[in-house]
A = this chain, B = another copy of it.
Amino acid sequence: MKRHNFNSGPSILPDEVLRRASEAVIDFNGLGLSILEIGHRTPWFTEVIEEGRSLVKELMGLDDTYSVLFLQGGATTQFMQVPLNLLPVGGHAAYIKNGIWGSKAIKEASVFGQADVIGDTSDRNHSYIQKTFSVPDGSSYLHYTSNNTVEGTQWHTLPEAGQTPLIADMSSDIFSRPVAFDKHALIYAGAQKNAGAAGTTIVAIKKDMLGKTGRNISPILDYEGHIKAESMLNTPPVFAVYVSMLTMRWIKEQGGLAEMEKRAKQRADLFYSALDNLEVFTPIVDKQDRSLMNATFTTSNKDLEAPFLELCKENAMVGVKGHRSVGGLRVSMYNAMPLSSVQALVDLMEKFNQANK
């Protein structure tokens, strides 16, 4: 039996993507070879990666002033690669600290220069989005996390950056809604939520941002080298790129980002209504800042947490547990999640509420 998959990432993927990917591991496009066995410079794979790069641009509505890369190392590697490539020696950049991932980005940036923390929601465990702040003059960029997977908050408007180039870690809400992607200088996302499987990272860069640091950048970490090599500076993670391409194809076929947003709102409305109405559960995040992707909550009585998790387990629901750093409960509802899984969870919550209120 297929489970209800509320994992935060790696997480649920469309059945059709899994089926195609599984077939390709045995025989890719009827070639008589596995996707794992083909050279990355063969037309068989270059078509895949080019379709992938082109789908990223299409879904985001980006023009040719942007370049798209499939890199490796996850968003955490981008925490390092962004300042290495964009923060000039002796310069400074602005960072919003809205959660655990933003904090890690700040730590990496500090290795290369001055990271000014201009927003910090630690005072209430990052349970809200701070929308007012001032960006210091001369900041090379403003970095924010569009959706906080661990804390369950999400930016529903863009941060006001003025003339400062905007950089977003969109790892956990990329492709879940239309966004003014072209107001960003750089967007990155680990693929393992809405954009595929673990093992590749999507990076979209406004090309005129590059080449200004005055720093000797290691060739393999230099965005310019990757752009010049059309995302093939070295062997890309072939299978992960293929799964990302299939996932984006699926998004497009389903109706694109507007349709993804519509479904996300249906799922979130269903879940948060139950959460707000059931006495034994307590929301954590300020209403207006709630994430459509990751919902964090607790049981009103701490002793009810373990029995509720046990009940979820018995009902084939996985991933209903808070991140190890914060505890509590969390459910993730990414693009591929059917409304029926959320309905099943809500039914269970109502039953549990009835028995324990």
Q: Which residues of A contact B (CB under 8 A)?
A: 1-3, 5, 7-13, 18-19, 21-23, 25-26, 31-34, 36-41, 72-77, 79-80, 84, 104, 107-108, 111-112, 190, 192, 197-200, 216-221, 233-240, 243, 316, 318-319, 324
Set of chain B residues within 8 Å of A13, measured between Cβ atoms? 34, 36-37
**In whole angstroms, what is the CA distance A255 to B273 when docked?**
59
| A220/B10 in contact, CB under 8 A | no
**In whole angstroms, what is the CA distance A107 to B10 when docked?**
35
Most chain-B Cβ atoms within 10 A of its Cβ — which of A37, A38, A80?
Answer: A37
| B39/A220 in contact, CB under 8 A | no
Chain B nearest CB, measured from A265 CB (Å)? 23
- Please list 25 pairs of residues, one from A and one from B, whose beta carbons are closer than 8 Å in the complex, sorted by A's number: A3-B33, A10-B36, A10-B38, A10-B40, A11-B37, A18-B37, A21-B25, A21-B36, A22-B22, A36-B197, A72-B77, A73-B220, A76-B220, A76-B233, A79-B220, A80-B221, A108-B219, A111-B216, A111-B217, A111-B218, A192-B235, A197-B238, A198-B235, A198-B236, A237-B240
Beyond the given A11-B39, A22-B25, A192-B238, could you list 13 further A-B residue pairs with CB under 8 A, ordered by the A residue number? A10-B37, A10-B238, A13-B34, A18-B34, A18-B36, A25-B25, A39-B319, A76-B233, A104-B219, A108-B219, A111-B217, A199-B240, A237-B237
Q: Which of B10, B22, B23, B108 contacts A218 (CB 8 A)?
A: B108
**In whole angstroms, what is the CA distance A9 to B39 when docked?**
6
Set of chain B residues within 8 Å of A112, measured between Cβ atoms? 218
Set of chain B residues within 8 Å of A34, measured between Cβ atoms? 13, 18
